[in-house]
A and B are shown apart, each in its own frame.
Chain A
Amino acid sequence: MSALGRFQDAFACALLANDPSSASGAAPRDLSALVRQPAFAVYRNTVHGGLIDAIVANHPAVERLVGDEWLRAAAAVFVRSHPPTHPTLADYGEGFDRFLAGFGPASAMPYLPLVARLDRAWTEAHAARDDPVVDPASMTALAPERLADALLVPHAASRWVRSDEHPIHALWTRSRDPDGGNDLADVAWRGEGVLVTRPIDAVRWIGIGPAHCAFLDACAAGRPLAEAAGGALDADGSTDLARLMADLLDAGAFARLSVAHGSAPVAPTTFP
C-alpha cells in the first residue's frame, strides 16, 4: 500500500478511537506526532460532533423521551462503531434502533428502539421517491369480481411498525410534538401500530391495528387483495375490511392499483 493509504488507515483509526492517544501508540511515528498536536482535536470534534448532531437531529422523538444529554452519550457510542457509509447525514442512523435494543442503559425503556425505528421511518419517508398515490375512489370503480385478484403496491414512502406490548403510536405522536410533554403517566399501555407515509409533500402517520399490518405485509409481498384480506382477518377476526382499506387508502399508503397476471393498471392514479 502507498504511504498515503497507510497514513489514511492510521488517521481514520485515530479519529474514531475512543482514546486517540492509545490509537496513536499503534500508529506510525509521524502520525503519533500529529495526534499529539492540540489541533488534532479540531478534526476529532468536527467528525464526532457532526455525526452525533446528525443522530440527534434525526431522532427527535427519542430525544424528547430521554433528553439531549442521554441521547448524545448513546450516539457517541453508536457513531464509533457505525460510522456512516454514505455522506447524506440527513439520512444517517440506519440501525440505531437495533443498537438501542442492545444498549445496556436503554434496557429499562423497551419501547425506545421502536420509537427510534419510527423516527427512522420518518427520515426515510421524507426523502423517498415521489410515487403517485392511489385515489380511494378508484377502488370503488373496480368491478367487484376483479377485486380479489387486484394488487395494491405500497407507496415508496410507506413504513409500518407494530408492537404487541407498547403504545408506540401514542408515545411517538406525543414525542414528535415539540409542545407535547414527556410524561407517560396517562398513556394507556397496550400494543399499537403506526403507518408512516408521505403521500404528497409532508410526512404523516396514523395509528393502525394488527390487521392493518398483516394487510400491508401481504401487499408488500406482492400478494393479491383476497390473500391480504385473509391475512388481516387471521390477525384480527373482528376486522371491518372496508374500513381497513379506507383507513389505508385515505392515508396514502399505496402507489398503484393493478390487477394480477401482468395487466396494465386498471385505474388512474393521482400524482402529487
Chain B
Amino acid sequence: MAIALSAGLSLKPAHYADALASPADARWFEVHPENYCVDGGPRLAWLDAVRARHPLSLHGVSLSLASDERPDETRLARLVALARRVEPALISEHLAWSSWRGAYLPDLLPFPRTREALDRIAANVSIVQDALKRAIAIENPSQYLAFDDHEIDEVAFLSELVRRTGCRLLVDVNNVYVSARNLGLDAAAIVDAFPADAVAEIHLAGHAADPRLGESLLVDTHDAPVAPAVWALFARLVARIGPRPSLIERDGNLPTHAELDAERARAAAHLSAVDERAAEAIA
C-alpha cells in the first residue's frame, strides 16, 4: 500500500522558488495559516503557485484551543476561507493556548491538564471541526514547566480528545523528546502510548540546550538539523504504527533548500522502507 503523502517540508518564503521547482513526488509543504490570512498580495500568490504543484498542510498556531473561551470567530472564519482556497491535505493545531482576552501571545502556552480543561478543549476542537467540516489533527507541544496540578497525562488527554471529538493526532517526536528530557519522563514510553489509528501526521525538528541553563533545559528551537535521538524516536513510532505524512520543521538558522531537502529525503526513504516491509509481511 503506497501512502498518498510521503515526507514534507515547512515552506519558507526564502525557498518559494525551490519549492515550486521541486518534483511533484508525494512531497508536500506545510505553512502556518496565520501568515497567509491576508487580503491579497504576493505572499498569497506564492502560496497559490506552490499549491498548484504540491499538496499543502495548514498548521495553525493561534486558534488557542486550550483557552477558557471560544476560538476567535474572525480567525476561524479566515482559516475556513484559506482552507477553501488551498484545499489542504491536512489541517492541524496544538494542545496549547496563545490568546487570552483579545491579546495574541506568540507561543504555545501550557496549562494544567484537568478534567475541566478537557471539557473546554473538546468543545473548542468540535467548534473548529464543525466550521471546517473536517477533522483536524492536534499536536503535543514542547513542555518546559513542571505542573503539580495535572490530573491527566498528556497522551491520555489527547486520546480522550480523539474519543470525544473524532479529531486526529499530530505526534511531534522532537517535542516528545524535549518534554521528556525537561520533565524527567521516558520519551520511548510516551511515543509508544499514542493510539496508532489516530495518528495523522508526524513532525521532526531540531532543538537546542538553553543558552543559560544548558542541557538541563532543552528548547524546541527549530533552528538545527533533527537530532539522532529524535530520528530514533521517529523510527520507533513508524515501526509500530506504519508510515504517516512526516514533516521536517525548520524556522531559524535556515539552511539552503537542498540541505533541508536532504533531511526530508531521509524521512521519505525511511517511510518507504517501512511501507515495503509491511507489504512483504502481508504477502
Q: Residues on A close to B: CB < 8 A?
A: 1-5, 7-9, 11-12, 15-16, 30, 33-34, 37-43, 46-47, 50-51, 54, 83-91, 126-131, 156-157, 198, 201-202
Bound-state CA distance A126–B219 (Å) is 33
A85 is contacted by which of B39, B104, B148 (Cβ under 8 Å)?
Answer: B104
Whether B38 lies near A9 (C-beta < 8 A) is no
Within 8 Å of chain A (Cβ to Cβ): is B73? no
| A-chain residues with CB within 8 Å of residue B38 when the two chains form the complex | 88, 90-91, 127
B101-135 near A? 1/0 per residue, CB < 8 Å: 11111110111101011001000000000000000
Q: Residues on B close to A: CB < 8 A?
A: 34-35, 37-43, 45, 61-62, 66-69, 74-75, 97-107, 109-112, 114, 116-117, 120, 144-149, 182, 210, 212-213, 217, 219
Whether B39 lies near A37 (C-beta < 8 A) is no
Whether A4 lies near B112 (C-beta < 8 A) is yes
Whether A47 lies near B116 (C-beta < 8 A) is no
B40 is contacted by which of A85, A90, A129 (Cβ under 8 Å)?
Answer: A129
Could you list 20 examples of A-B contacts with CB < 8 Å? Answer: A2-B116, A3-B116, A4-B68, A7-B111, A9-B100, A12-B103, A15-B109, A16-B103, A16-B105, A30-B148, A41-B212, A43-B109, A43-B144, A50-B106, A51-B106, A84-B103, A85-B104, A86-B74, A87-B62, A126-B41
Min distance, Cβ A34 to any Cβ of chain B, angstroms? 5
Bound-state CA distance A12–B64 (Å) is 13
Q: List 9 additional contacts besides A4-B68, A46-B107, A85-B103; criterion CB under 8 Å.
A: A39-B144, A39-B146, A40-B145, A47-B107, A83-B103, A87-B61, A87-B62, A127-B39, A131-B40
| A-chain residues with CB within 8 Å of residue B217 when the two chains form the complex | 38-39, 42
| A-chain residues with CB within 8 Å of residue B45 when the two chains form the complex | 201
Whether A127 lies near B41 (C-beta < 8 A) is yes
| B-chain residues with CB within 8 Å of residue A51 when the two chains form the complex | 106
| B-chain residues with CB within 8 Å of residue A50 when the two chains form the complex | 106-107
Whether B145 lies near A12 (C-beta < 8 A) is no
Whether B39 lies near A129 (C-beta < 8 A) is yes
Whether B68 lies near A12 (C-beta < 8 A) is no
| B-chain residues with CB within 8 Å of residue A41 when the two chains form the complex | 212
Whether A156 lies near B144 (C-beta < 8 A) is no
Whether A127 lies near B40 (C-beta < 8 A) is yes
Question: Given that A47-B105, A83-B104 are known contacts, is A8 also in contact with B67, CB under 8 Å in the complex?
Answer: yes
| B-chain residues with CB within 8 Å of residue A1 when the two chains form the complex | 68
Whether B111 lies near A8 (C-beta < 8 A) is yes
Bound-state CA distance A88–B82 (Å) is 14
| B-chain residues with CB within 8 Å of residue A85 when the two chains form the complex | 102-104
Min distance, Cβ A133 to any Cβ of chain B, angstroms? 13
Bound-state CA distance A52–B40 (Å) is 25
Whether B41 lies near A130 (C-beta < 8 A) is yes
Bound-state CA distance A38–B218 (Å) is 12
